[in-house]
Protein backbone atom coordinates (compact mmCIF):
# COMPACT_ATOMS: atom_id res chain seq x y z
CA UNK A 1 0.00 0.00 0.00
CA UNK A 2 1.75 3.21 -1.13
CA UNK A 3 2.06 6.09 1.30
CA UNK A 4 1.66 9.80 0.63
CA UNK A 5 5.44 10.16 0.71
CA UNK A 6 5.74 7.49 -2.01
CA UNK A 7 3.12 8.80 -4.44
CA UNK A 8 3.54 12.52 -3.78
CA UNK A 9 0.97 15.30 -3.42
CA UNK A 10 -0.04 15.62 -7.08
CA UNK A 11 -0.86 11.94 -7.52
CA UNK A 12 -2.62 11.77 -4.14
CA UNK A 13 -4.78 14.74 -5.10
CA UNK A 14 -5.54 13.20 -8.49
CA UNK A 15 -6.82 10.05 -6.78
CA UNK A 16 -8.89 12.06 -4.31
CA UNK A 17 -10.43 14.22 -7.04
CA UNK A 18 -11.13 11.15 -9.17
CA UNK A 19 -13.03 9.66 -6.23
CA UNK A 20 -15.02 12.82 -5.62
CA UNK A 21 -15.83 13.50 -9.28
CA UNK A 22 -17.28 10.05 -9.82
CA UNK A 23 -20.16 10.97 -7.55
CA UNK A 24 -20.50 14.63 -8.31
CA UNK A 25 -23.20 14.54 -10.96
CA UNK A 26 -25.34 11.95 -9.22
CA UNK A 27 -25.74 14.07 -6.11
CA UNK A 28 -27.04 17.19 -7.82
CA UNK A 29 -30.72 17.34 -6.92
CA UNK A 30 -33.13 16.54 -9.75
CA UNK A 31 -34.11 19.57 -11.78
CA UNK A 32 -30.82 21.33 -11.09
CA UNK A 33 -28.12 22.07 -13.61
CA UNK A 34 -25.06 19.87 -14.05
CA UNK A 35 -21.48 21.12 -14.07
CA UNK A 36 -20.89 23.74 -16.74
CA UNK A 37 -24.56 24.31 -17.37
CA UNK A 38 -25.75 27.90 -17.47
CA UNK A 39 -28.88 27.30 -15.37
CA UNK A 40 -29.12 28.47 -11.78
CA UNK A 41 -28.45 26.41 -8.66
CA UNK A 42 -25.46 24.49 -9.93
CA UNK A 43 -21.83 23.50 -9.69
CA UNK A 44 -20.58 25.57 -12.61
CA UNK A 45 -17.02 24.30 -12.08
CA UNK A 46 -16.09 21.55 -9.59
CA UNK A 47 -12.84 20.15 -8.18
CA UNK A 48 -9.64 20.33 -10.25
CA UNK A 49 -9.26 24.02 -11.03
CA UNK A 50 -7.91 26.70 -8.68
CA UNK A 51 -11.37 27.18 -7.17
CA UNK A 52 -14.90 25.93 -7.61
CA UNK A 53 -17.62 28.05 -9.21
CA UNK A 54 -21.04 27.65 -7.61
CA UNK A 55 -24.35 29.22 -8.46
CA UNK A 56 -27.01 29.42 -5.73
CA UNK A 57 -30.64 29.27 -6.80
CA UNK A 58 -32.60 32.46 -7.21
CA UNK A 59 -34.52 33.47 -4.13
CA UNK A 60 -32.24 31.51 -1.79
CA UNK A 61 -29.75 32.39 0.93
CA UNK A 62 -26.38 30.66 1.15
CA UNK A 63 -25.75 29.09 4.59
CA UNK A 64 -22.12 28.27 5.48
CA UNK A 65 -20.46 26.25 8.25
CA UNK A 66 -17.09 24.64 8.93
CA UNK A 67 -15.76 22.12 11.43
CA UNK A 68 -12.59 20.08 11.88
CA UNK A 69 -11.75 16.75 13.49
CA UNK A 70 -8.31 16.52 15.12
CA UNK A 71 -6.69 13.20 16.00
CA UNK A 72 -6.60 12.56 19.77
CA UNK A 73 -8.76 15.62 20.38
CA UNK A 74 -11.99 14.65 18.59
CA UNK A 75 -11.33 11.02 17.85
CA UNK A 76 -9.10 8.05 18.58
CA UNK A 77 -7.74 6.30 15.47
CA UNK A 78 -8.11 2.91 17.21
CA UNK A 79 -11.87 3.45 17.42
CA UNK A 80 -12.55 5.12 14.10
CA UNK A 81 -11.37 3.86 10.70
CA UNK A 82 -10.72 6.26 7.82
CA UNK A 83 -14.11 5.86 6.14
CA UNK A 84 -16.03 6.20 9.43
CA UNK A 85 -13.96 9.25 10.25
CA UNK A 86 -14.94 10.79 6.92
CA UNK A 87 -18.61 10.07 7.56
CA UNK A 88 -18.31 11.64 10.98
CA UNK A 89 -16.65 14.76 9.59
CA UNK A 90 -19.50 15.12 7.11
CA UNK A 91 -22.12 14.54 9.81
CA UNK A 92 -20.80 17.17 12.23
CA UNK A 93 -21.11 19.74 9.45
CA UNK A 94 -24.42 18.42 8.10
CA UNK A 95 -25.74 18.71 11.64
CA UNK A 96 -24.96 22.42 11.73
CA UNK A 97 -26.88 22.97 8.49
CA UNK A 98 -29.76 20.85 9.84
CA UNK A 99 -29.86 23.24 12.80
CA UNK A 100 -30.30 26.12 10.37
CA UNK A 101 -33.03 24.37 8.40
CA UNK A 102 -30.73 24.53 5.36
CA UNK A 103 -30.41 22.01 2.54
CA UNK A 104 -26.73 20.95 2.19
CA UNK A 105 -25.27 21.54 -1.29
CA UNK A 106 -21.49 21.96 -1.62
CA UNK A 107 -18.43 21.02 0.42
CA UNK A 108 -14.73 21.87 0.51
CA UNK A 109 -12.43 19.39 2.26
CA UNK A 110 -9.05 20.13 3.81
CA UNK A 111 -6.83 17.31 5.10
CA UNK A 112 -3.61 17.39 7.12
CA UNK A 113 -1.94 13.96 6.89
CA UNK A 114 1.44 12.52 7.86
CA UNK A 115 3.66 11.45 4.93
CA UNK A 116 3.54 7.83 6.19
CA UNK A 117 -0.24 7.77 5.75
CA UNK A 118 -1.34 5.26 3.12
CA UNK A 119 -3.04 6.88 0.13
CA UNK A 120 -5.82 4.30 0.34
CA UNK A 121 -6.68 5.61 3.81
CA UNK A 122 -7.17 9.08 2.36
CA UNK A 123 -9.30 7.72 -0.46
CA UNK A 124 -11.39 5.88 2.16
CA UNK A 125 -11.67 9.07 4.22
CA UNK A 126 -12.84 10.97 1.18
CA UNK A 127 -15.29 8.19 0.28
CA UNK A 128 -16.74 8.34 3.79
CA UNK A 129 -17.18 12.09 3.49
CA UNK A 130 -18.65 11.95 -0.04
CA UNK A 131 -21.14 9.17 0.73
CA UNK A 132 -22.45 10.85 3.87
CA UNK A 133 -22.79 14.16 2.02
CA UNK A 134 -24.47 12.53 -0.95
CA UNK A 135 -27.12 10.95 1.29
CA UNK A 136 -28.19 14.48 2.20
CA UNK A 137 -27.87 15.96 -1.30
CA UNK A 138 -24.40 17.57 -1.12
CA UNK A 139 -21.20 17.11 -3.17
CA UNK A 140 -17.50 17.82 -2.71
CA UNK A 141 -16.45 20.63 -5.04
CA UNK A 142 -12.83 21.12 -3.98
CA UNK A 143 -10.21 20.58 -1.35
CA UNK A 144 -6.69 20.82 -0.08
CA UNK A 145 -4.09 18.32 1.10
CA UNK A 146 -1.20 19.27 3.34
CA UNK A 147 1.56 17.34 5.14
CA UNK A 148 1.70 17.43 8.94
CA UNK A 149 4.35 16.20 11.39
CA UNK A 150 2.12 15.65 14.41
CA UNK A 151 -1.57 14.94 14.89
CA UNK A 152 -3.59 14.50 11.71
CA UNK A 153 -6.75 16.49 11.10
CA UNK A 154 -9.45 16.94 8.54
CA UNK A 155 -11.73 19.89 8.03
CA UNK A 156 -14.89 20.42 6.03
CA UNK A 157 -16.57 23.62 4.90
CA UNK A 158 -20.18 23.02 3.95
CA UNK A 159 -22.48 25.35 2.06
CA UNK A 160 -26.23 24.96 1.94
CA UNK A 161 -29.33 26.85 0.93
CA UNK A 162 -32.56 28.02 2.46
CA UNK A 163 -35.34 29.97 0.88
CA UNK A 164 -34.48 33.64 1.32
CA UNK A 165 -34.95 34.72 4.93
CA UNK A 166 -36.10 31.27 6.06
CA UNK A 167 -32.98 30.08 7.93
CA UNK A 168 -33.61 28.98 11.52
CA UNK A 169 -31.64 30.65 14.31
CA UNK A 170 -30.99 30.08 18.01
CA UNK A 171 -32.70 33.30 18.99
CA UNK A 172 -36.31 32.81 17.88
CA UNK A 173 -37.74 30.90 20.88
CA UNK A 174 -40.72 32.51 22.61
CA UNK A 175 -42.41 31.76 25.95
CA UNK A 176 -44.98 29.02 25.48
CA UNK A 177 -43.17 27.36 22.55
CA UNK A 178 -42.66 23.62 22.86
CA UNK A 179 -39.13 22.25 23.16
CA UNK A 180 -38.54 19.09 21.16
CA UNK A 181 -35.50 16.92 20.55
CA UNK A 182 -34.64 14.03 18.24
CA UNK A 183 -33.05 10.74 19.25
CA UNK A 184 -31.58 9.85 22.63
CA UNK A 185 -29.43 12.67 24.00
CA UNK A 186 -26.39 11.61 25.98
CA UNK A 187 -25.66 8.42 24.11
CA UNK A 188 -22.55 9.69 22.31
CA UNK A 189 -21.00 10.94 25.53
CA UNK A 190 -21.84 7.66 27.21
CA UNK A 191 -20.14 5.78 24.36
CA UNK A 192 -16.95 7.81 24.59
CA UNK A 193 -16.83 7.46 28.37
CA UNK A 194 -17.30 3.69 28.13
CA UNK A 195 -14.49 3.45 25.57
CA UNK A 196 -12.15 5.49 27.75
CA UNK A 197 -13.09 3.69 30.97
CA UNK A 198 -13.27 0.09 29.69
CA UNK A 199 -11.06 -0.01 26.65
CA UNK A 200 -11.67 -3.13 24.55
CA UNK A 201 -14.50 -4.30 26.82
CA UNK A 202 -16.59 -1.40 25.48
CA UNK A 203 -16.71 -3.23 22.13
CA UNK A 204 -19.15 -5.77 23.65
CA UNK A 205 -22.40 -6.03 21.63
CA UNK A 206 -24.34 -4.67 24.61
CA UNK A 207 -22.74 -1.24 24.24
CA UNK A 208 -22.82 -1.09 20.44
CA UNK A 209 -25.66 1.47 20.14
CA UNK A 210 -23.74 3.84 22.44
CA UNK A 211 -20.40 3.31 20.70
CA UNK A 212 -22.17 3.91 17.37
CA UNK A 213 -23.84 7.08 18.62
CA UNK A 214 -20.35 8.31 19.46
CA UNK A 215 -18.42 7.08 16.42
CA UNK A 216 -21.04 6.97 13.68
CA UNK A 217 -23.74 9.57 14.40
CA UNK A 218 -26.29 10.06 11.63
CA UNK A 219 -27.31 13.44 10.33
CA UNK A 220 -30.75 14.85 11.11
CA UNK A 221 -30.94 16.72 7.79
CA UNK A 222 -34.00 14.74 6.58
CA UNK A 223 -35.82 15.57 9.83
CA UNK A 224 -34.83 19.24 9.53
CA UNK A 225 -36.16 19.38 5.96
CA UNK A 226 -39.44 17.76 7.05
CA UNK A 227 -39.83 20.18 9.98
CA UNK A 228 -38.96 23.15 7.77
CA UNK A 229 -41.83 22.20 5.49
CA UNK A 230 -44.24 22.50 8.46
CA UNK A 231 -43.11 26.09 9.13
CA UNK A 232 -43.49 25.77 12.92
CA UNK A 233 -39.84 25.82 14.09
CA UNK A 234 -39.11 29.06 15.96
CA UNK A 235 -35.49 28.33 17.03
CA UNK A 236 -33.03 25.48 16.59
CA UNK A 237 -29.59 24.21 17.60
CA UNK A 238 -27.86 20.88 17.17
CA UNK A 239 -26.79 18.94 20.25
CA UNK A 240 -23.04 18.95 19.72
CA UNK A 241 -21.88 19.75 23.24
CA UNK A 242 -24.61 18.18 25.36
CA UNK A 243 -28.35 18.55 25.94
CA UNK A 244 -28.14 20.92 28.93
CA UNK A 245 -25.37 23.05 27.46
CA UNK A 246 -26.96 23.45 24.03
CA UNK A 247 -30.44 24.04 25.46
CA UNK A 248 -29.01 26.75 27.74
CA UNK A 249 -27.26 28.28 24.75
CA UNK A 250 -30.47 28.43 22.70
CA UNK A 251 -32.40 29.89 25.66
CA UNK A 252 -29.70 32.47 26.26
CA UNK A 253 -29.71 33.52 22.60
CA UNK A 254 -33.50 33.83 22.71
CA UNK A 255 -33.54 35.69 26.05
CA UNK A 256 -35.78 32.94 27.46
CA UNK A 257 -35.70 30.04 29.91
CA UNK A 258 -36.97 26.46 29.79
CA UNK A 259 -38.63 23.78 31.86
CA UNK A 260 -37.87 20.22 30.81
CA UNK A 261 -40.24 17.50 31.95
CA UNK A 262 -38.31 14.39 33.00
CA UNK A 263 -41.32 12.22 32.22
CA UNK A 264 -41.35 13.38 28.61
CA UNK A 265 -37.71 12.48 27.96
CA UNK A 266 -37.31 9.28 25.93
CA UNK A 267 -36.78 6.26 28.16
CA UNK A 268 -33.23 5.00 27.69
CA UNK A 269 -32.48 1.80 29.62
CA UNK A 270 -29.11 1.36 27.92
CA UNK A 271 -27.97 4.81 29.04
CA UNK A 272 -29.02 3.96 32.60
CA UNK A 273 -27.08 0.71 32.37
CA UNK A 274 -24.02 2.63 31.16
CA UNK A 275 -24.38 5.04 34.07
CA UNK A 276 -24.31 2.12 36.51
CA UNK A 277 -21.26 0.63 34.78
CA UNK A 278 -19.48 3.99 34.93
CA UNK A 279 -20.61 4.75 38.48
CA UNK A 280 -22.24 8.06 37.56
CA UNK A 281 -25.79 9.41 37.81
CA UNK A 282 -27.87 8.74 34.66
CA UNK A 283 -28.65 12.45 34.38
CA UNK A 284 -24.94 13.23 34.18
CA UNK A 285 -24.83 11.18 30.97
CA UNK A 286 -28.20 12.36 29.68
CA UNK A 287 -27.67 16.10 30.12
CA UNK A 288 -23.87 16.38 30.28
CA UNK A 289 -21.21 16.66 27.56
CA UNK A 290 -22.20 14.56 24.54
CA UNK A 291 -21.80 15.24 20.84
CA UNK A 292 -24.99 13.54 19.73
CA UNK A 293 -25.69 15.67 16.63
CA UNK A 294 -29.37 15.45 17.44
CA UNK A 295 -31.72 18.31 16.58
CA UNK A 296 -33.06 20.48 19.41
CA UNK A 297 -35.84 22.86 18.35
CA UNK A 298 -38.59 25.06 19.69
CA UNK A 299 -42.00 24.83 18.03
CA UNK A 300 -44.85 27.30 17.83
CA UNK A 301 -47.62 25.78 19.97
CA UNK A 302 -49.95 25.20 17.02
CA UNK A 303 -47.32 23.29 15.02
CA UNK A 304 -46.59 20.52 17.49
CA UNK A 305 -48.81 17.77 16.10
CA UNK A 306 -47.79 18.35 12.49
CA UNK A 307 -44.08 18.28 13.40
CA UNK A 308 -44.39 15.09 15.46
CA UNK A 309 -46.34 13.48 12.62
CA UNK A 310 -43.67 14.53 10.09
CA UNK A 311 -40.94 12.92 12.22
CA UNK A 312 -43.00 9.78 12.61
CA UNK A 313 -43.41 9.47 8.83
CA UNK A 314 -39.60 9.54 8.59
CA UNK A 315 -39.25 6.98 11.37
CA UNK A 316 -37.09 9.38 13.41
CA UNK A 317 -37.54 9.47 17.20
CA UNK A 318 -38.61 13.02 17.99
CA UNK A 319 -40.86 14.51 20.59
CA UNK A 320 -41.70 17.37 22.92
CA UNK A 321 -39.74 17.31 26.18
CA UNK A 322 -40.56 20.70 27.68
CA UNK A 323 -41.65 24.27 27.24
CA UNK A 324 -40.00 27.67 26.80
CA UNK A 325 -40.47 30.01 29.77
CA UNK A 326 -40.00 33.71 30.36
CA UNK A 327 -37.41 33.23 33.12
CA UNK A 328 -34.38 34.30 31.15
CA UNK A 329 -31.31 32.10 31.44
CA UNK A 330 -32.98 29.59 33.76
CA UNK A 331 -33.32 25.95 32.71
CA UNK A 332 -35.31 23.76 35.09
CA UNK A 333 -36.04 20.09 35.32
CA UNK A 334 -39.44 18.89 36.58
CA UNK A 335 -39.27 15.35 37.95
CA UNK A 336 -41.98 12.70 38.12
CA UNK A 337 -43.14 14.01 41.52
CA UNK A 338 -43.66 17.45 40.04
CA UNK A 339 -40.68 18.92 41.87
CA UNK A 340 -38.70 21.51 39.97
CA UNK A 341 -34.93 22.04 40.30
CA UNK A 342 -32.25 23.59 38.11
CA UNK A 343 -31.11 21.25 35.36
CA UNK A 344 -27.57 20.05 36.01
CA UNK A 345 -25.53 22.09 33.57
CA UNK A 346 -23.02 20.47 31.37
CA UNK A 347 -21.65 21.08 27.93
CA UNK A 348 -18.24 20.88 26.43
CA UNK A 349 -15.78 23.74 26.48
CA UNK A 350 -12.86 23.02 24.20
CA UNK A 351 -10.51 25.16 26.22
CA UNK A 352 -11.57 24.00 29.67
CA UNK A 353 -12.02 20.31 29.02
CA UNK A 354 -11.00 17.88 31.75
CA UNK A 355 -10.80 15.00 29.29
CA UNK A 356 -8.71 15.18 26.13
CA UNK A 357 -11.23 13.13 24.16
CA UNK A 358 -14.84 13.81 23.41
MG1 LIG B 1 -24.03 23.56 15.99
pLDDT (tens digit, 9 = 90+) per residue, 123-156?
999 999 999 999 999 999 998 999 999 999 999 9
E-strand ranges in the chain read: 42-45, 53-55, 60-70, 103-113, 139-147, 153-163, 178-182, 233-239, 257-261, 294-299, 318-325, 331-334, 340-342
CA of 237 from ligand 1 middle (Å) equals 6
CB atoms within 10 A of CB 261: 18
Q: How far apart are CA 68 and CA 212, in angstroms?
A: 20
pLDDT at 210: 97
Distance 27 CA to ligand 1 centre (A): 24
Residue 141 contacts residue 52 (beta carbons within 8 Å): yes
How many angstroms is it from 119 CA to the middle of ligand 1?
31
Q: Which of 68-82, 176-190, 192-206, 289-303 comes out lowest in average pLDDT?
A: 68-82
Query: What is the chain's mean pLDDT, rounded?
Result: 89
Q: What is the pLDDT of residues 226-249, one digit of tens each?
A: 999 999 999 999 999 999 999 999
Query: What pTM was estimated for this model as a whole?
Result: 0.89
Q: What is the pLDDT of residues 52-105, one digit of tens each?
A: 999 999 999 999 999 999 998 887 777 889 999 999 999 999 999 999 999 999
| CA–centroid distance, residue 246 to ligand 1 (Å) | 9
More confident residue, 237 or 4: 237
Range 310-314 average pLDDT = 98
Contact between 244 and 301 (Cβ < 8 Å): no
Count of C-beta atoms within a 10 Å radius of residue 176: 13
Q: How far is the CA of 214 from the centre of ligand 1 (A)?
A: 16
CA 201 to centroid of ligand 1, rounded, Å: 31
Amino acid sequence: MPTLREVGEIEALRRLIAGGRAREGSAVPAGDARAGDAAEGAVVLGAGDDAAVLRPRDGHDLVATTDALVENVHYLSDWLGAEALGARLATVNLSDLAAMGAAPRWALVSIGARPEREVDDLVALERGIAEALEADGAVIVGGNLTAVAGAEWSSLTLLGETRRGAAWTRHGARAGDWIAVSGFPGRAGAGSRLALAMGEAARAPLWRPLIQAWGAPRSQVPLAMALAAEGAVTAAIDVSDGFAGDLARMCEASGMGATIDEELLPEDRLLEQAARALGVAPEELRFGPSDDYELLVTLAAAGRDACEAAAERLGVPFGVVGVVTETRGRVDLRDSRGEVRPMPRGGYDHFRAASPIR
